[in-house]
Every structure is written in C-alpha cells, then in structure tokens.
Amino acid sequence: MNLPNRLTVIRIILTPVFLFLFLADFLSYNYIFALIVFSVAAITDFADGKIARSRNIITNFGKIADPIADKILSSAILLGLMLIDMCSIWVVLIILTREFAISAIRISAASQGLVIPANIYGKVKTVMQMVFSIIVLILLSIQVFLAAEIPYFSLIVNIMMWILAFVTLFSGLIYIKDSLKVIDFSK
C-alpha cells in the first residue's frame, strides 16, 4: 500500500478517535483534543492527494477510498454537532443524502469499469467542510477554555452549516449531471 493510501486509512482510523474525544465531556478540554485529532485527519486528506498527484501514484483504491474517508470524517463531526444541538438534523440529512447518492453513483460506475473522481465542486465542498469544522472546534475550545459563551455562537455555527448544506447539495447535483454523460444507468 502506497503512502497516500496509508494516509487515507489513517484518516478513517482517526475518525472514531475524534468523535470519542468530541463527545467525551468528562475530559477537561475534550474539544481541544478533538480539534487536534480532526486537524491531523484533515491534513492527511490534503497530503494524500498532493502526494499521489506529485508522485503519479494515483490508484483506483485511492480514488474510491479517499472520498469515503472524507465522508466518514465529515459525517462524524456533523453527528457530533447534532448531538450537542449545534447542527440541524435537516443539514445532516441533506449532506448525508448527497454523500450516499454520490457513493451509489460511484459504485454503479465501478460496476461498469469506470472510476469517476471527485470534481472541483466536490473538492470545494470538502475543503469547506474541513475549514468550517475546524472553525467550530476552535470556537468550542475557546468557550471551554474561557468558561464563557461566545455571543451568537449557535447562530454562527448554524449559518455555516446551512451554507455547507447548500454547497454540498449543489456539488452533488453537478456530479449527478456529469455522471449521466458517462454511466449507463440501464444496466
């Protein structure tokens, strides 16, 4: 297994560690620890693609596993935020529905010998998910560290999550439109 694929697997392994720390309110500064683990996982996402492209070691496994690892990590933080009432269930539903739909398309493509990599819109969506998630984790960490509420914190997080839901939906619709050009859905 090459280095980019190992980094993808590491991201998958770090996800339950992140979620455990995020939800471990019995730990002092759990959000800080969760932020560190999430940031390392996000860095592996950036690094695996950069290394694969620069060394020309892009694999079919990487094309499939990398977006799945992203979905697992982004789903974990969405579910965590929903559990602490920082994210609407509707945002989670929109994002997860898009992710499952795209996965179904990828599986259909693979059954026809095709690999459809993420497009620029999906990459923008993923970067936004990572950046917004890190911002939320930083703000949660600041609240815990200062033992004080950040004014309008919940509103800020919800606005970011709804923006993310819209971008996620848009990127999914573009991916579906593009896939209709290359996949035979009658098979």
pLDDT of the residue at 145: 85
More confident residue, 29 or 17: 17
Q: Which two tokens stand for residue 61?
A: 């496994």
Every domain of the chain and the residues it spans: 3-179
Dump pLDDT digits (tens) for 75-113.
999 999 999 999 999 999 999 999 999 988 988 888 888
Buried b (16+ CB within 10 A) or exposed e, 107-121: ebbeeeeeebebeeb
What does the pLDDT read at residue 107?
A: 84
Residue-level pLDDT at 158: 92
User: Residue 151 pLDDT more than 90?
Assistant: no
Return the axis-axis angle of helices 60-83 and 89-111, rounded to nearest 10°: 160
Reported pTM: 0.88
Task: Give me the mean pLDDT over the 14-27 stretch.
Answer: 95
> CATH fold of 3-179, please?
Four Helix Bundle (Hemerythrin (Met), subunit A) (1.20.120)
